[in-house]
Amino acid sequence: MTCTLRSVVNCGIVLGILDLLHALATSGFYAYQLASHYNCRWNHGIRWCQYYMYETNHNLRVNVGIGEGVVCLVFACLLMVGLCKYNPVLTWLWLFKALAVVVVNTYFLTGWLLQRSRHYHQFWDRHNYDQDNNFLLASACLTVIEVFIMFVFCCVAGSFTYKIRKQRVPTMETDI
């Protein structure tokens, strides 16, 4: 059974929409964390919340996470445009973003797990542990989802590039 270029493009568009939803989830989670820590509802006050975010490296992760979500939105749109315009170079550019997201998430996830293993946070209360678990779970889930999308993307983009080169479809690179 052979698939057509149109079906490969449609599959890529669905993949782009999934990546767009992933980017919105990333931005939403980290924006919520930013808002909840600057509107601290815990009994120890805003100064403790800011110290907690700085000490656990969550402050940096929140800022990087919001930026990651915005960059992912842009690259998801570029992926869909590249597929619609039959531009394999623009389509494969998305892979750099996916690799960067996986590396950033793995870096923070590894750092948090190493911190947790050192037991430096024994003075925290239950809210701090719950917050730390939220960051760990979100980072792990976002990384697994991005790896899955990246795996499917490599299959789709490889097929897309092959179909374009085989059928000699005019692209933005060449004017036929």
Does a structural domain hold residue 102?
A: yes
Q: What's this model's pTM, rounded to 2 decimal places? A: 0.79
Closest CA to 171 of 97, 91, 95: 91
pLDDT band per the 50, 70, 90 thresholds, residue 39: low
pLDDT score, position 127: 59
Identify whether 65 is part of a domain. Answer: yes
Per-residue pLDDT of 104-151, as tens digits, reads 989 888 887 777 766 555 555 555 667 777 888 888 898 999 899 999
Q: Look at residue 175 and tell me whether its pLDDT is greater than 60.
A: no
In this predicted structure, what is the pLDDT of residue 40?
A: 64
What is the total count of domains within the chain? 1
Task: Find the domain containing 90 and state its range.
Answer: 5-167
**Residue 43 in domain:** yes
Q: Which of 126, 129, 106 is nearest to 56 (CA)?
A: 129
Full DSSP string of 24-57 = HHHHHHHHHHHHHHHS--STT-HHHHHHHHHHTT
Q: Assign 17 a pLDDT band (cuts: 50, 70, 90).
A: very high
The answer to the question of residue 115 being in a domain is: yes
> What confidence score (pLDDT) does residue 115 get?
73
Residue 91 domain flag? yes
Structural domain contains residue 158: yes
173 assigned to some structural domain: no
Residue 128 lies in a domain: yes
Task: For residue 147, give every residue at least 6 positions away whose Cβ sits within 8 Å of its Cβ, in sequence order, or none.
Answer: 102
Cβ atoms of residues 135 and 61 within 8 Å: yes
